[in-house]
Amino acid sequence: MLWSFLTDNFTWFVVSLCLVFLSASTASVGVWAVLQKRALISEVIAHAVLPGVVLAFLIGEAKNPAYLLLGGFITGSFAVYLSDLLIRKTKLKIDTALGSVLAWLFGVGVLLLSYSQNLQHLDKSGLERFLWGKAASLQSFDLYTLLGLSILLSLLQLVLYMPFQILILDKDYAKTRGLKVKALQMLLSAMSVLCVVLGLQAVGVVLMAAFMITPAVVAQKLWQKLWQIQWFSIFLSSASALCGTAFSAIFPDVPTGASIVLVMSILGLLFFIFMPQRGYLAQVLKNKAHRRKTMQENTLKVLYQLGEEKDNFLLPQSIDKIIEKRFYPAKTLYKTLKILEHQHFILRTNDNIWLTDLGLDESKRIVKAHRLWEQYLYEKLQFRNDHVHGMAEQVEHLLTPKLLSEIDKELKNPDTDPHNEPIPKL
């Protein structure tokens, strides 16, 4: 059953496998470039292979794609070399230097391309393929090439994982460790160029940059560990390669490269926003929850302090007094009070508020956290007593009860904070 499905759709099967290999290895190489903040260099390479390919086509007048790819490899590497040279030797800033190299080489490429269109005797179909990519033209032979490429690149990365890691973290440290920084840098660039060149036939010139940048950028935003970033970007790019090929199989007019890039960007965006715990939305919600908690705790703290002044914590307090003490906008204060009332921390009539027993315990805990932390900074870390309040304001919302009792023990249950205010006992 499965076998007959595969043989019936053999072309499609080969094409999608090719693209999966291609995009997975490109994505894993791209991670290094993006983490080095050299994303633009892959854009330069993706444009700069054009003149090489066309030149090889014009000189060789040959159909053999190997020469075209070799030409692309040469100009791609030349572009990397030239950009580094311009950055080192002139006062041009990095972005201008890279942009100049890109614009120049791409201009030359298009110039040669339009020249080749005038030559009647040449069969231009070979060239057209490299411009916008023609995944349907991939064959079993290309599959082996791309498989070989993926194996080669993954072996290289496995063997040199440690040196690469040191290189992208800290170049100077890598130098002092005796690593050959220049050689490693060149190897990374060569790997990028290789990926772009081998992707030409399937994806075309300009869009190869996306294969290198998009998965890596999304991955490094969502994950912290290097191996996680690597695996996630490989996963993202392979998944989009599969979906994109399927899409272009349904709509044969659409170039495969463009549809893969679209899927990749949209999928990346979705992950970026909606991924649980790590995505943008989750972060925003988390921040909002923290802000709300801070508001509630601060309000309880104010109520405690107001009670402290009168030496009676169960007296009713007016809302105006709270605003006077903490400058809340009235609207947020009412919202907070509503939540606190719901949690049975306070009771309220129109203008007055009481702490309940539960609320008193909670407010004591917060005030204790605040003053204990002030004392800790003052006593153990030798901060001056007029420097500790701000930090305690932050930390009081983060201290867990367990941590609190540990600090209490460490400080031998102090009675007062550095401002001589009493630390409440729970």
The helices-and-strands tally (H runs, E runs) of the chain is 19, 3
- For position 113 contacting another protein by CB under 8 A, the verdict is yes
Q: Of the candidates 59, 62, 103, 246, which one interacts with another protein according to CB under 8 A?
A: 103
Binding mask 241-260 for another protein (x = CB under 8 A): ----------x-xxx-xxx-
Check residue 107 for interaction with another protein (CB under 8 A).
Answer: yes
Q: Which two tokens stand for residue 378?
A: 């003052």
Tokens 């994982």 found at: 161
Per CB under 8 A, the list member of 118, 350, 382, 420 interacting with another protein is 118
110 belongs to the binding site for another protein (CB under 8 A): yes
Instruction: List residues bridging with 422 in a β-sheet.
Output: 416
Sequence-distant (≥ 6) Cβ neighbours of residue 378 within 8 angstroms: 384, 385, 388, 417, 418
Query: Residue 107 or residue 422: which is nearer to another protein going by CB?
Result: 107
Please, which residues have CB within 8 angstroms of residue 382's CB and are 6 or more apart in sequence?
none
Residue with Cβ nearer another protein (222 or 399): 222
42: Cβ contacts below 8 Å, ≥ 6 apart: 30, 33, 192, 196, 208, 209, 212, 213
Q: Phi and psi at residue 87, in whole multiples of 5°?
A: -65, -40
Q: Which of 60, 67, 78, 99 binds another protein (CB under 8 A)?
A: 99
Interactions with another protein, residue window 278-297 (CB under 8 A) = 280
- Select from 27, 48, 68, 131 the one that contacts another protein (CB under 8 A): 131
Is 170 or 324 the residue whose CB approaches another protein more closely?
170
Site for another protein contains 119 (CB under 8 A): no
Provide the residue count of the chain.
426
Q: Of 22, 399, 383, 69, which is closest to residue 234 (Cα–Cα)?
A: 22
**Contacting residue, 12, 132, 354, 383, with another protein by CB under 8 A:** 132
| Shortest Å distance, C-beta 113 to another protein | 7
Q: Tell me: does residue 114 bind another protein (CB under 8 A).
A: yes
196, 34 in Cβ contact below 8 A? no
Contacts of 198 (CB under 8 A, 6+ apart): 22, 69, 145, 146, 149
80 binds another protein (CB under 8 A): no
Q: Tell whether residue 15 is a contact of another protein (CB under 8 A).
A: no
Give the span between the Cα atoms of 145 and 148, in whole angstroms.
5
Q: Which of 16, 27, 43, 234 binds another protein (CB under 8 A)?
A: 43
Q: Judged by CB under 8 A, does residue 74 bind another protein?
A: no
Residues 161-180 touching another protein, rule: CB under 8 A, are none
Residues forming a β-bridge with 317: 353
- Which one of residues 11, 12, 13, 39 is an interface residue with another protein (CB under 8 A)? 39
Least Å distance between CB 89 and another protein?
6
Q: Applying CB under 8 A, does 137 fall inside the site for another protein? A: no
Binding-site member from 96, 125, 139, 343 for another protein (CB under 8 A): 96
Task: Tell which positions 387-406 bind another protein, by CB under 8 A.
Answer: none
Pairing of strands 346-348, 317-318: unpaired
Provide DSSP, 309-353.
HHT-TTS-EEHHHHHHHH---HHHHHHHHHHHHHTTSEEE-SSEE
Q: Does 104 bind another protein (CB under 8 A)?
A: yes
Where along the sequence are the contacts to another protein (CB under 8 A)? 34, 37-40, 42-43, 47, 82, 86, 89-93, 95-97, 99-100, 102-111, 113-115, 118, 131-132, 206-207, 209-210, 213-214, 217, 221, 251, 253-255, 257-259, 261-262, 265, 268, 272, 280
